[in-house]
Amino acid sequence: MIGTDLLGIEDLERADIERILDTAEHMREVGRRVVKKVPTLRGRTIVNLFFESSTRTRASFEIAGKRLSADVINFSPSSSSLKKSESILDTARTLDAMDPDAVVVRHSVAGVPKQIADVLAAPVINAGDGAHEHPTQALLDLLTVKLEKGRIDGLTVTIVGDILHSRVARSNIYAFGKMGAEVRIAAPPPMIPAAVETLGVKVFTSLREAIEGVDVVMALRIQSERLAGCYLPSVREYSSTFGIDREKLKYAKEDVIVMHPGPVNRGVELSHDLTDHRPSVILDQVRNGVAIRMAVLYLLSGRRQEDAQRIDLGSGEGR
Ligand code: NCD
């Protein structure tokens, strides 16, 4: 439930998701101003605690916090006492004693954000934990589809690729399912999690059948850092059977959009041409990511404000 932590889409109700998307639509407007700053979280402190590497998610949370006038601290494990073997929870407790208003956590092990949330007073936002969940990525994907298509309910979305190791896939399966879309997954058998049908998805091993008539195709990065012990086809075989190019897209709806959470392995998950041009919307996803993170930071770290329900977007000075 929104109001405490954001650990996964699995915990959210449809109404929570709608509230975040509506708030993010207001936040998008701030990003279009000349002066991209509103006083909403002035005096608040947000800690970015990234134990695993990240480019766009970390920068996105930092920009989001700064656009809301919060002070954002980036905690880098390599330069901290973790090198002196201080435990993750001790580090979290130490940071908590500095009274942050929100802590954003990324870790390569599933469940670490939850463990940290259990000891912290501040709200914790999961920025990706192992192959478990990446809720703000799914929320920005929902927002991108909503803005492109005008709705999510009734659409068909096919997620293609390394479903087994992908926290993005898991969060999106929950997210699009809760919002009333039909979710299909397509992957070589070793990349399909056991019993994934129980999450309400239709499973395909033929890409052509999976994308027949769909509104959205979402390609996933091959998670090479999580592949140990997993038998997979060669990269060339993968890209010829599951890589998305314009030829394969002909089976989808004429107005299909193509998504990818990034970073893209160009020529593997997506053809070079599709990586850079419509119908792919990869940079829109990045842009919408800032608005989603502003919304989530506002709804969580702003919750102690008496007027937390009111969205204060300032005067628009400098627009
Ligand atoms: C994703 C991640 O880290 O889970 N990237 C991201 O946050 N934009 C996807 C990926 O790494 O493949």
Output the CA 34–ligand 1 centroid distance in Å: 29
Q: Classify domain 9-133+286-309 by CATH number.
A: 3.40.50.1370
What is the structure's pLDDT at 49?
Answer: 93
- Given the candidates 3.40.50.300, 3.40.50.1370, 3.50.50.60, 3.30.420.40, the CATH classification of the domain at 135-284 is 3.40.50.1370
Residue 306 pLDDT more than 50?
A: no
Output the CA 208–ligand 1 centroid distance in Å: 25
Q: What is the pLDDT of residues 104-131, one digit of tens each?
A: 999 999 999 999 999 899 999 999 999 9
Write out the DSSP string of 22-74: HHHHHHHHHHTSSS---STTTT-EEEEEESS--SHHHHHHHHHHHHTT-EEEE
Strand 71-75: give its sheet, edge to edge. Answer: 71-75, 45-50, 102-107, 124-129
Among 51, 56, 57, 140, name the best residue to mutate to test ligand 1's pocket (greatest count of ligand atoms within 8 A of Cβ).
57
Q: What is the pLDDT of residues 1-30, one digit of tens each?
A: 455 899 999 999 999 999 999 999 999 999
What is the structure's pLDDT at 307?
Answer: 43
Domain residue ranges of the chain, discontinuous segments joined by +: 9-133+286-309, 135-284
Ligand 1, atom nearest to 54 Cα: 3
Ligand 1, atom nearest to 56 Cα: 8
Residues with CB under 6 A from ligand 1: 56-57, 128, 134, 137, 167-168, 221, 261-262
Among 108, 134, 172, name the best residue to mutate to test ligand 1's pocket (greatest count of ligand atoms within 8 A of Cβ).
134
Output the CA 167–ligand 1 centroid distance in Å: 8
Output the CA 113–ligand 1 centroid distance in Å: 16
Percent of the chain predicted with pLDDT > 90: 78
Alpha-carbon span 26 to 3, nearest angstrom: 19
Output the CA 259–ligand 1 centroid distance in Å: 13
Instruction: Give this prediction's pTM.
Output: 0.93
What is the structure's pLDDT at 86?
Answer: 67
Q: What is the pLDDT of residues 190-210, one digit of tens each?
A: 999 999 999 999 999 999 999
Output the CA 210–ligand 1 centroid distance in Å: 23
